A and B are shown apart, each in its own frame.
Chain A
Amino acid sequence: MTNSTPLYFGPTGECFGILQHPRSQTHQGGILMCPALYAESTKAHWASRKLSQRLASLGYWVLRFDYRGMGNSWGAPAQIKLADWFDDLKHAYDLLVSHVDAGNVSVMATRFSCHLVSEFTFKEQFDKAVFWDPVLTPKDWLMALSNWREIQHREFGITFQTAEYHAQILSDELLKNLQEDSGSYRGVNSTSAVAIIGANQQTRIKLSDYGIRTRCVTDLYDWNQIHLHPFYVHHIVDLLAEELG
């Protein structure tokens, strides 16, 4: 029924992943799918699964995974350091290149993962990099996480403290790293990169400055509502598959 293998990988099996096997006889290469983090990951799960199935039908090996402290991987979020996530990326990459040629791997990253991947491309070369709604700077992402939570809490009339929330999910070291990092997407210059984004003109200009081509989903697209609109999911999967395939 399924052509995917769920597994735990990394030195002590700390990361959870699903390796999608190519369905066609002609193997096209590999695609590493790097997820959104924290609460954002569940919003993109369905789209990621649909995309991996589509890419597998086109002949790609696809690896989806959860960073440490996220999803089904091991680790407590409040003990994770930025270096851990880079290690996870490396282990995921190594797992994928054990099935395909290293020169034939592309990457698809969502939200904050785009930032991680842009730094990671200094170490490993990707054929293509496709970013879905990239976070421009870690600070923006922290703000987005807090805002979303604030909305959730306001709905139920419960007091919300940003600092308290950050303390629960981020280690001091990670929070400091994120607050100090201006984020520049320096690493993607040598890679053919495209970002799938909403209609925000400022984001488009900034990504163009980094040398990243942009494609707008629709003027109405809103990341925060993505999980509620199957139409957007199908449309985004089409766009991502077109760029990666």
Chain B
Amino acid sequence: MNETAQFLDDGRIFSIVTRPDTVRSKVAIVLLNAGLINTSGPYRLNVEIARRAAELGYVAVRIDQSNKGESETRKGLSARASEVADFDAVAKQLGKLGIDEFVIGGLCSAADDSLRIATNKKEIAGLLMLDGYARKTAKFRVRQIYRWVTSKSAWKKLFRIVLRRGKKDIEEETVDVRDWDKPSVMINRYRALLQSGTKALAVFSGGVPGYYNYEGQLSECLNLGSDSDKLTEVYFRNFVHIYPSVAQQRKMVEIFLAWLKVEFPFHGDKAARDD
């Protein structure tokens, strides 16, 4: 396998394309930035995903979206318009390699961005959602209360707040950094994509207890009915959000690759399966 690092779109977007020795699929993996972390990803997560996918025969590209990592801001474009323009630039470049379908995704904000970008993009056939969106369900709230009541640290925290007469420390203020629309909009967008044929792998770690705490929560809130096979949902309660553990990273990547092989088989494999 080999890698080519280059700036696309008149130098606006930085990308690294990982090409297998033998390209076995016309589907490419596009990995976006996790938060503000550059192309390599947290603890090199994106590097690991890209290179492991290339070992199998898929082309993979990790990019710095506008105003992140090595990429410049797109002047005159909003953040949301920029993310679509970034994808278009990458798709155009990969089109030269004969790639016509994409699995797009990544961790956290990358998953959020992917969901938006995939809307109205027929060439996006798959989503890799690592700690992506999920709506809080009734079961989630019950479990959250139970977890809170049985948590020593939660009681300690409450005690500290009471002692300070209700005032929270600056450190205790949680900042909502996820760029999510209203739940109904998010659900409709997600559902519409899956119903139109897009496939999604949603992997959740134990690092997002504020909105996800049991396996099957996403499927429940999406209520896909006959399209439920389009979504594969996995929950690793002991996994950390940014995958600092090499073992956890490997496990997640294995699951992604297995999903990829089933949902986006190589040309020969697909023909054999159709037969």
Contact = CB atoms under 8 A, between A and B. Distances in A.
Interface of A: 1-2, 4, 6-8, 16, 18, 39, 42, 45-46, 49, 66, 70-72, 77-78, 149, 152-153, 156-158, 165, 168-169, 227
A49 B70 contact: yes
B6 A6 contact: yes
Interface of B: 3, 5-7, 10-12, 14, 16, 36-40, 42-44, 47, 69-70, 72, 153, 206-207, 238, 240-242, 244-247
Given A42-B37, A72-B16, A72-B40, A156 B241 contact: yes
B93 to A, nearest CB: 14
Contacts of B40: 42, 66, 71-72
A72 B7 contact: no
A16 B12 contact: no
Q: Which interface residue of B72, B238, B244 has the most chain A CB atoms within 10 A? A: B244
Contacts of B246: 78, 168-169
A50 to B, nearest CB: 12
A49 B245 CA distance: 27
8 contacts: A1-B12, A1-B72, A16-B16, A39-B43, A42-B42, A72-B47, A149-B244, A168-B246
Contacts of A46: 36
A152 B5 contact: no
Contacts of A157: 153
Nearest to A69: B44
A230 to B, nearest CB: 11
Contacts of A7: 5
A4 B64 CA distance: 15
A-B complex: 7 closest residue pairs judged by Cβ atoms: A1-B11, A6-B5, A2-B11, A168-B246, A71-B40, A72-B40, A42-B37
Contacts of B44: 70-71, 77
Contact of A72 (B11, B39, B244): B39
A168 B11 CA distance: 37
Contact of A152 (B10, B14, B69, B244): B244
Contacts of A149: 244
A1 B206 contact: no
A6 B240 contact: no
A18 B36 CA distance: 19
Contacts of A70: 44
B7 A1 contact: yes
A18 B242 CA distance: 25
A78 B44 CA distance: 13
A153 B206 CA distance: 11
Given A1-B7, A16-B3, A45-B38, 9 more contacts: A2-B70, A4-B70, A8-B3, A42-B38, A42-B40, A46-B36, A72-B3, A72-B5, A77-B44
B40 to A, nearest CB: 5
Contact of A1 (B3, B10, B42, B240): B10
A169 B207 CA distance: 21
Nearest to A168: B246
Contacts of B72: 1-2
A173 B47 CA distance: 24
Contacts of B42: 42
A165 B246 CA distance: 9
Given A6-B5, A18-B70, A72-B5, A39 B12 contact: no
Contact of B7 (A6, A66, A152, A169): A6
A72 B238 CA distance: 27
A156 B206 contact: yes
A7 B3 CA distance: 10
A168 B37 CA distance: 21
A108 B203 CA distance: 40
A152 B240 contact: yes
Contacts of A71: 38, 40, 44, 47
Nearest to A148: B244
A158 B37 contact: no
Contact of A6 (B14, B207, B238): B14
A153 B240 contact: yes
